[in-house]
């Protein structure tokens, strides 16, 4: 069952690709599938700004919000995992 997030997503991004990813994130509810988690971890760095915006939006944490309030928790986990992935990037080694 898809969630209609057109209005809510406007405050997080205006990028259609990122918007699609956020719709999947909010629609996931409590659990991200391994496939969705991989998709989000492999996404462009532009996703990070949208994840930060979700994390900093108190309304996204409400149980009645799209995603039943799970989106900011997923955003924090994804941001940490994305940073850890970048920190292990051999191109960053000195």
Highest mean pLDDT range out of 6-10, 29-33, 56-60?
29-33
Give the integer Cα–Cα distance in Å for 84 and 92.
12
pLDDT digits over 10-23, tens only? Answer: 788 989 999 999 99
pLDDT digits over 64-82, tens only? Answer: 888 899 999 999 999 999 8
Domain ranges of the chain: 6-87
């Amino acid at each position: 069952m898809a969630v209609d997030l057109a209005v809510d997503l406007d405050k997080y991004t205006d990028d259609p690709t990122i918007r699609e990813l956020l719709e999947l994130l909010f629609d996931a509810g409590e659990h991200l599938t391994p496939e969705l988690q991989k998709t989000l971890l492999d996404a462009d760095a532009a996703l990070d700004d949208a994840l930060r915006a979700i994390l900093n939006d108190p309304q996204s944490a409400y149980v009645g919000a799209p995603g039943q309030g799970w989106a900011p928790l997923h955003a924090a986990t994804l941001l940490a995992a994305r940073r850890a992935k970048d920190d292990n990037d051999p191109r960053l080694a000195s």
